[in-house]
Amino acid sequence: MDKINYIDWIDKVKILQKAVIKNKEDKILALKRVGAQNWPRPNCWDLVGGRVEDSDIEQWKAKSGKGDENDILINALKREIKEETSLVVQNIRVIHATSGFNDSKKLFVVAIGYLCEVSDEDAVKLSAEHTEYKWVAKNEFMGLEIGDDGGLIYSILGKC
């Protein structure tokens, strides 16, 4: 069997993922970011999410990566959700995708928004990245202080 060569692209591309997590009452999980000044958007409200990391790629390489349960993007999103909230989600589906180029960092950025559901909303246990959470209606989330994220959160929320 031929060995597959993977292109080293992780240092040139940033894949950012955000999840709109809805509970049984159709409310959205809002997380308040820590107030550390060296963090982007300190003390602002956010959706769960993060970036695809090297460990996600290594795990994918060791498995199939064919859009099945080993899908790199879905597993990276599930990992971020679990790390930030301890929640396990289901019915994950893409609702928004966009891309751009960061000139100062010479980095291609892909941002993907997902909609997913949680059955046990009381299981939230926050990581050190967030100070509080609340379940809110979509219009209430739109009124929260989210800081300057380039319009990503509003774009994602507009699709659900």
pLDDT at 128 over 80: yes
DSSP state of 3: P
> How big is the CA angle at 61 (ends 57 and 63), to the nearest 5 degrees?
120
As a whole number, mean pLDDT of residues 83-108 equals 93
As a whole number, mean pLDDT of residues 127-147 equals 96
pLDDT at 9 over 70: no
How high is the mean pLDDT of the chain? 87
Please give the structure tokens belonging to residue 49: 């999410």
Domains belonging to the chain, first-starting first, are 13-157 (3.90.79.10)
- How does pLDDT run across 29-78, given as a tens digit for each residue? 999 999 987 888 999 999 999 877 666 666 666 665 555 566 778 888 99
Cβ proximity of 115 and 75 under 8 Å: no
pLDDT at 5 over 70: no
The CA distance from 19 to 7, in Å, is 27
The residue count for the chain: 160
Cβ proximity of 61 and 6 under 8 Å: yes
**What are the CA-CA distances from residue 135 to residues 27, 36, 92, 146, 151 (Å)?**
6, 23, 18, 15, 21
pLDDT at 11 over 60: yes
pLDDT at 26 over 90: yes
- H helices present in 63-144, as ranges: 72-85, 138-142
Q: What proportion of the chain, given as a percentage, has pLDDT over 90?
A: 60
